[in-house]
Structure 1
């Protein structure tokens, strides 16, 4: 069984390799709530640290970073983390698999960087050229989603290309050495590949992806740490607003925290233009359309009613 098809094994390996613990407000104090915060590369920790948004927090935060949504979702399912950021498509995939989470906050970004990449010297020029080619991506990820949408945009189906399921680091290597023809991925991997000269965008996510991402929380954390989750969400939203008012400072912090080149950090940050927004009927309908697309392509066995996956009681700062 491949590691991508055994997300628990991948989670254990990645978690052991990349566990990072932040003691917000000092050392762990007996009796204080500890919020176990999952993160993805280029995610919330860099944002909150860059904005100094954890000042005065009255609970402790234990961070664990994951390279992609699949191991993060597995960690949520196992109760290893209480909350974490997850894209629209992987959230659907996790929920359909029985992961007991709710989506408590939502943001929308420019989806350009959710893209299908090819080597700079690749002869592929359009989505139609993907017919019969191999595409590396994470199963159920936003990269997987944009690969399927790119094929559909060219009148092709899921079986018209050979989609290989690999984690980001392995897919990057496979693209470089020619083991795959294309890599369907997301930020910051897209910006990293572009600025290093290792890849170019064949098909961007504009017009294909909704650009939605969410802050998810486990049902057990919602029952016991709701106040901490509400405070955490508000700090994230305020930090996001600060970041676009302080682009140089935040880009430098992002590069430092996640260990990527400053030019890649700034490129992916500026073009995403992330905006947190209320969970309203329009947003729910957009998420339902994404779920229905996964059903049509055979990745879901039955229709998922996404209305049940949201907790709309959380508020955003004014």
Structure 2
């Protein structure tokens, strides 16, 4: 069934005051002790920000600007953008759908950079003994996913390609840890999930892949910041994006060394980490017109499926700085 648009957007629009304040309260002590020159970054287990954290390279990059860094881990993009909205962090990284849901719900942020999406970085998976063998088999089935996440877009795309509508399946909205438990226990029929959770499910649960981005449209992943921070500190945003681009180029050439570096930090097996590191084609860029068009198609898809309450214009939330763009293009 299609959930009421207002219900689907509750991750942002209908959050209670207590929920919105929770991330801020969690970080209150750190923020209280911090100077004005602290960049608060929200990151997830996968992605270049996790590599920068493990390297300590961003701290070195920002030192000449007088900035230190504080890191806060989130299980998924929607929760990260809630913290950004509550002004608990200044900068973060998500897939394409979270900022669409956020913008539709009035969350204050801007897109400051982007990464290309790999074809095999997330998937619709089932247990090895599942009777489901195609996306068409999902009709009427319970599908676990984090609402408003990149999984949401993949699910929309593969359902459309299979000739199904979103209301033909029964979405079960769960964050990754809870979704894995439900998947493992047989409480859901399928799970739509991204790396490293996807790679872990393949390795430890022997999950079978029904579909990934191989035959459907991909979307970009994004770096977001509060509008105020981006406008007031373009030099910091530029330095972060520059370090991300440099590190991404290194990771593309050294996936085994990257895995050895970050596996202890994220508590995962080195070989498993190397699997998902090799799936990502890192290449940090500013948000170009082509990327805006791609993201607008993502937003339109969610509006068409009645999963956001109104049509949005992605360009309204795109931060542009010619100096930063020129600097990044030169790297």
Common fold by TM > 0.5: yes
Work out the CA distance in 1 between the residues paired with 2:84 and 2:277.
26
**Structure 2 counterpart of 1:234:** 242
Kept in 2, the 8 Å contact 1:176–1:198? The answer is no
Work out the CA distance in 2 between the residues paired with 1:253 and 1:16.
31
1:277 aligns with 2:281: no
Q: Which of 68, 83, 89 pairs up with 2:76?
A: 68
Work out the CA distance in 2 between the residues paired with 1:50 and 1:117.
30
Q: Which of 37, 42, 45 pairs up with 2:41?
A: 37
Q: For 2:253, what is the secondary structure of its paired residue?
A: coil
**Structure 2 counterpart of 1:214:** 222
Per-residue Cα deviation, 1:182-239 (whole angstroms, up to 9, x for no partner): 0111111111111113412111122334241111000121233332222111111111
Sort the Cα spacing of 1:184 and 1:11 in 2 relative to 1 into closer, same or farther, 3 A.
Answer: farther
Q: Which of 256, 268, 279 pairs up with 1:248?
A: 256
Q: Which of 43, 47, 50 pairs up with 1:46?
A: 50
Work out the CA distance in 2 between the residues paired with 1:190 and 1:196.
10
The structure richer in helix per residue is: 2
Per-residue Cα deviation, 1:12-39 (whole angstroms, up to 9, x for no partner): 77898999x8xxxxxx885x61001111
Kept in 1, the 8 Å contact 2:11–2:78? The answer is no
Superposition RMSD on alpha carbons, in Å?
A: 2.6
Kept in 2, the 8 Å contact 1:51–1:243? The answer is no
Work out the CA distance in 2 between the residues paired with 1:229 and 1:180.
41
Per-residue Cα deviation, 1:107-153 (whole angstroms, up to 9, x for no partner): 10313222111111111111101001000111111112211222111
Work out the CA distance in 1 between the residues paired with 2:27 and 2:179.
19
**Relative to structure 2, which stretch is displaced further, 231-240 or 46-55?**
46-55
Q: Which of 120, 145, 157 pairs up with 1:149?
A: 157
How many pairs were matched up? 309
**Structure 1 counterpart of 2:298:** 290
Could you tell me the TM-score, scaled by structure 1's length? 0.89
Q: For 1:251, what is the secondary structure of its paired residue?
A: helix
Kept in 2, the 8 Å contact 1:15–1:65? The answer is no
1:263 aligns with 2:268: no
1:162 aligns with 2:166: no
